């Protein structure tokens, strides 16, 4: 919404949320999320044509286009528990819109939703005698956290799905006009509404699948002395495949991949497509396996016990350039380390507050330290969880001196200079490459 307001001064954009703390933060100097470049844009246009408010009813009344971007987490109860999208926030919003609307509106599905959700939205909006007309569009968001501003400024594509009725097409054209203020026309694509809903789930499923594919091969590399970086380079140079998303790691995280995959699996099951569901479920299972394998490698390297050892996690965010820790592999790794009765120290430049909240139930067993050098002091091992640039430039000679010996590094992102670390004295365990050990 900030990008639309920034690029289209002729539109007035109001963001409303049920969470007053978030709105207060959006109106303050400390925005509630860290996203490179976002602060500058918000500060420039806030109060001009971008507003943040808790007045939901008024927001609905005044708007002619409403982007619904509420959370759609995985269900934690009832039918479809742990798999299906929990659409309670979505449905509540639909009812709120119906009750407060006094004039015709375009409703844009911005949240990631199971295919056919627009049908439910239509039914809720037209379920009373209220004469107001609504057009529903699907406009999934493809931006990724950490590169959000760049992705929004120069998107690969903007996808807009609509009903193929004259009203549907008219509404779709209105949304096309908004994006056309800065996105080249050939990158704004339109489709039927179900294709649009499904495309978002499929995009994330394909991206996650690439990570799980390379991670699956990383385990084979570790058994065969092949090197995953060399394999990925050779594979990625095939122009049919390309080189993106081929970095082996401790596993993918983030609020979207797992949730959207599980959603796809659930949808397939619902439509009786068991084999298809199992196929995509495999992508999730490989990701879980990769996280557990990281712990098993750690155990194997450290004489099959972590008890009483002190282990430092470098990074807790699910990837660099974000403070977001939702579904971060670091959560699983932390819990397993504590389960193995090791002491745990966590450092991260942006995600420590979220880390503390994620691990609230085991807080007694964890220390949170801002400075990575301080965090590593007195530890037996460092495990890199997030590919923050700063970790590659630390003075590892100094760090080595402050650690217990033998000192280990488990590079869950393959970002460090492994040979150099080995020369300093570390035993180095990358993902999908032969370890460098002094034993």
Beta carbon of residue 391, minimum distance to ligand NAD (angstroms, whole number): 23
Q: Does 69 bind ligand NAD (CB under 6 A)?
A: yes
Closest by CA position to 297, among listed 209, 223, 391 = 223
CA–CA separation, 187 and 190 (whole Å) = 10
Q: Are 373 and 343 in contact (CB under 8 A)?
A: no
DSSP 80: T
Binder of ligand NAD out of 56, 180, 216, 394 (CB under 6 A): 56
Binder of ligand NAD out of 89, 182, 194, 400 (CB under 6 A): 89
Q: Could you tell me the strand order of the sheet in which 105-109 lies?
A: 65-68, 105-109, 134-138, 158-162, 188-192
Which residue number, 145 or 327, has a Cβ lying nearer to ligand NAD?
Answer: 145
Beta carbon of residue 32, minimum distance to ligand NAD (angstroms, whole number): 8
Which residue number, 197 or 343, has a Cβ lying nearer to ligand NAD?
Answer: 197
Q: Does 117 bind ligand NAD (CB under 6 A)?
A: no
Kindly report the CA angle at 375 between 294 and 424, in degrees rounded to 5?
Answer: 70
Beta carbon of residue 418, minimum distance to ligand NAD (angstroms, whole number): 31
Stretch that binds ligand NAD, among 13-21, 169-177, 272-280, 382-390 (CB under 6 A): 13-21
Closest by CA position to 397, among listed 385, 388, 407, 387 = 407
Q: Does 55 bind ligand NAD (CB under 6 A)?
A: no
CA–CA separation, 302 and 305 (whole Å) = 6
Residues between 139 and 158 with contacts to ligand NAD, criterion CB under 6 A: 141, 143, 145
Which residue number, 118 or 232, has a Cβ lying nearer to ligand NAD?
Answer: 118
Pairing of strands 158-162, 65-68: unpaired
Beta carbon of residue 353, minimum distance to ligand NAD (angstroms, whole number): 15
Residue 50 tokens read as: 């971008």
Binder of ligand NAD out of 112, 138, 203, 414 (CB under 6 A): 112
Q: Are 386 and 413 in contact (CB under 8 A)?
A: yes
Number of shown-chain residues binding ligand NAD (CB under 6 A): 21
Q: Does 18 bind ligand NAD (CB under 6 A)?
A: yes
Q: Does 91 bind ligand NAD (CB under 6 A)?
A: no
Which residue number, 197 or 281, has a Cβ lying nearer to ligand NAD?
Answer: 197
Q: Does 54 bind ligand NAD (CB under 6 A)?
A: no
Rg (CA), the chain: 24
Which residue number, 109 or 411, has a Cβ lying nearer to ligand NAD?
Answer: 109
Sequential DSSP letters for 39-72: HHHHHHHBTTTEEEES-HHHHHHH-SEEEE----
Binder of ligand NAD out of 14, 101, 111, 199 (CB under 6 A): 111
Kindly write out the interface string for residues 254-273 of this chain, putting x where it contacts ligand NAD by CB under 6 A and - elsewhere.
-xx-----------------
Q: Are 128 and 98 in contact (CB under 8 A)?
A: yes
CA–CA separation, 86 and 81 (whole Å) = 9
Binder of ligand NAD out of 2, 41, 72, 108 (CB under 6 A): 72
Kindly report the CA angle at 69 between 68 and 74, in degrees rounded to 5?
Answer: 120
The gap from C-alpha 82 to its chain's centroid, in whole angstroms, comes to 17
Asked about 256 being catalytic, the answer comes back as yes
Beta carbon of residue 267, minimum distance to ligand NAD (angstroms, whole number): 15
Pairing of strands 158-162, 134-138: antiparallel
The residues annotated as belonging to the active site are 256
Binding residues for ligand NAD (CB under 6 A): 16-19, 22, 56, 69-72, 89, 92-93, 96, 111-112, 141, 143, 145, 255-256
């Amino acid at each position: 919404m900030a990008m639309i307001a920034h690029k289209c001064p002729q539109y007035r954009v109001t963001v409303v949320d049920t969470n007053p703390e978030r709105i207060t933060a959006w109106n303050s100097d400390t925005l509630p999320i860290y996203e490179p470049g976002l602060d500058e844009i918000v500060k420039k246009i806030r109060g001009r044509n971008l507003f943040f408010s808790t007045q939901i009813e008024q927001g609905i009344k005044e708007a002619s286009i409403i982007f619904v971007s509420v959370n759609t987490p995985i269900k934690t109860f009832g039918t479809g528990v742990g798999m299906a999208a929990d659409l309670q926030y979505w449905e509540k919003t639909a009812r709120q819109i119906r009750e407060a609307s006094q004039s015709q509106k375009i409703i844009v599905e911005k949240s990631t939703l199971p295919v056919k959700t627009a049908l439910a939205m239509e039914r809720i909006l037209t379920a009373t005698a209220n004469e107001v007309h609504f057009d529903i569009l699907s406009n999934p968001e493809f931006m990724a956290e950490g590169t959000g501003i760049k992705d929004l400024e120069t998107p690969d594509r903007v996808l807009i799905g609509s009903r193929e009725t004259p009203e549907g097409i008219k509404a779709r054209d209105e949304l096309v006009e908004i994006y056309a203020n800065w996105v080249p026309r050939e990158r704004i694509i339109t489709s039927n509404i179900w294709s649009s809903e499904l495309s978002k789930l499929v995009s994330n499923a394909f991206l996650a699948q690439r990570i799980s594919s390379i991670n699956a091969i990383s385990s084979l590399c570790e058994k065969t002395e092949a090197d995953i970086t060399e394999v990925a380079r050779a594979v990625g140079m095939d122009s049919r495949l390309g080189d993106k998303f081929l970095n082996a790691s401790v596993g993918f995280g983030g609020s979207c991949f797992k949730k959207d995959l599980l959603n796809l699996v659930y949808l397939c099951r619902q439509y009786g497509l068991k084999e298809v569901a199992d196929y995509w479920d495999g992508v999730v299972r490989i990701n879980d396996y990769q996280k557990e394998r990281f712990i098993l490698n750690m155990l194997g390297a450290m004489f099959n016990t972590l008890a009483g050892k002190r282990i430092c996690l470098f990074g807790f965010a699910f990837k660099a350039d974000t403070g977001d820790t939702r579904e971060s592999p670091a959560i699983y790794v932390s819990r397993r380390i504590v389960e193995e009765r090791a002491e745990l120290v966590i450092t991260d430049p942006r995600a420590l507050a979220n880390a503390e909240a994620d691990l609230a139930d085991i807080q007694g067993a964890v220390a949170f330290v801002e400075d990575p050098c301080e965090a590593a002091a007195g530890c037996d091992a460092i495990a890199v969880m997030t590919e923050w640039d700063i970790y590659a430039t630390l003075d590892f000679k100094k760090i080595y001196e402050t650690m217990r010996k033998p000192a280990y590094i488990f590079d869950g992102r393959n970002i460090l200079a492994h040979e150099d670390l080995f020369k300093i004295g570390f035993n180095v365990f990358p993902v999908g490459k032969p370890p460098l050990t002094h034993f």
